[in-house]
C-alpha cells in the first residue's frame, strides 16, 4: 500500500506542463462550519518518499503564501519516510502554531484512449468494372482508424481541517493531466485547490 501511494504521489508531481490542466471534479464544504478563514496552514503530502513529499509540500506552501496564507511544509517539522505518527503530527501542528491542516493523497489513476472515427460512407465506383471498380473507388473514400493519443489522468483528494475541529471543513477531488515539470505540476494543482477554498471563504 505504501509503495502504491509513493507511485501515485510521484505521478502527481510530474503533471501539468504548459497546456496540461487540473480540473476540480467534486468538492464539499462542511455545512456546519462558519468560522473565520484559516491563516496558518500545515501542508501534508501522503507519501513514503521524502523527496517527493518535500517537493510537493514546499511548492504548495509557496502557492498558499502568494495568497497571503502562512503555510508550513510538514517535512520541516517531521522529517523522514513513511506514515507520520498521530502524536508527531499533533505536535507539529502545535509547534507551527497552525490553525489549519491540509492533506493531499492520491486515490486513482485513469487512462483515456482517443481513436479517430472510421468513415462509413460507401465509395463511388464503376459498376461495370465489378470488384475492381469498387476497389479503385475505395481508395478515394477509405479511412484508417488510428489512435490519436492516450491521455493519463491522476485523481487526487485534498482535504482541509481546522486544527481544533475533528471533522474536515472542506474536501475536493481533482483530475490532472500527466506529464510535466515537477514545480509547474504542483503549482498548477495548488492553484485550482486554493481558488476553490478561497471561493468558500476558508483561506
* pLDDT value, residue 154: 84
505536535: which residue's cell? 91
* Domains of the chain by residue range: 2-117+149-199
Q: DSSP state, 183?
A: H
* pLDDT value, residue 120: 56
Regarding predicted confidence, which is higher, 178 or 121?
178
Give which of 93, 106, 1 is closest to 56, Cα–Cα: 106
pLDDT tens digits, residue range 78-133?
A: 998 889 999 999 999 999 999 999 999 988 888 888 776 655 555 666 667 778 77
Regarding predicted confidence, which is higher, 127 or 156?
156
* 166 vs 181: CA distance, rounded Å: 36
**What's the CATH number for 2-117+149-199?**
3.40.50
Angle CA(74)–CA(188)–CA(68) in degrees, nearest 5? 60
* pLDDT value, residue 7: 52
pLDDT tens digits, residue range 135-149?
A: 776 776 555 666 667
Question: Is 4 buried (19+), middle (13-18) or exposed (0-12) by CB count in 10 A?
Answer: exposed
* pLDDT value, residue 25: 95
* pLDDT value, residue 191: 94
Q: Residue 72: is its pLDDT beyond 70?
A: yes
pLDDT, mean of residues 51-72: 94
pLDDT tens digits, residue range 5-55?
A: 555 555 555 544 444 589 999 999 999 999 999 999 999 999 887 887 998
> What predicted TM-score, i.e. pTM, was given to this entire model?
0.75
* Helix, strand, coil fractions of the chain, as percent rounded to 5: 35, 30, 35
* pLDDT value, residue 134: 73
User: What is the edge-to-edge ordering of all strands in the sheet holding 70-73?
Assistant: 22-29, 168-178, 147-162, 100-115, 40-45, 70-73
Contact (Cβ atoms closer than 8 angstroms) between residue 6 and residue 45: no
* pLDDT value, residue 3: 56
* pLDDT value, residue 8: 53
Amino acid at each position: 500500500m505504501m509503495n502504491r501511494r509513493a507511485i501515485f504521489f510521484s505521478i502527481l508531481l510530474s503533471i501539468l506542463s504548459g497546456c496540461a490542466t487540473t480540473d476540480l471534479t467534486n468538492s464539499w464544504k462542511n455545512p456546519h462550519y462558519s468560522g473565520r478563514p484559516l491563516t496558518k496552514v500545515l501542508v501534508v503530502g501522503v507519501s513514503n518518499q521524502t523527496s517527493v513529499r518535500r517537493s510537493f509540500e514546499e511548492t504548495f506552501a509557496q502557492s498558499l503564501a502568494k495568497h497571503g496564507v502562512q503555510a508550513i511544509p510538514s517535512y520541516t517539522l517531521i522529517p523522514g519516510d513513511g506514515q507520520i505518527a498521530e502524536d508527531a503530527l499533533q505536535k507539529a501542528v502545535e509547534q507551527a502554531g497552525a490553525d489549519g491542516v491540509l492533506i493531499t493523497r492520491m486515490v486513482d489513476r485513469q487512462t483515456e484512449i482517443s481513436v479517430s472515427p472510421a468513415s462509413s460512407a460507401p465509395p463511388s465506383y464503376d459498376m461495370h468494372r465489378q470488384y475492381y471498380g469498387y476497389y479503385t473507388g475505395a481508395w478515394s473514400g477509405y479511412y484508417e482508424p488510428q489512435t490519436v493519443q492516450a491521455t493519463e489522468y491522476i485523481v487526487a483528494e485534498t482535504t482541509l481541517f481546522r486544527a481544533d475541529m475533528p471533522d474536515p471543513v472542506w474536501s475536493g477531488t481533482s483530475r490532472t493531466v500527466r506529464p510535466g515539470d515537477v514545480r509547474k505540476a504542483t503549482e498548477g494543482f495548488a492553484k485550482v485547490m486554493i481558488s476553490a477554498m478561497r471561493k468558500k471563504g476558508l483561506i
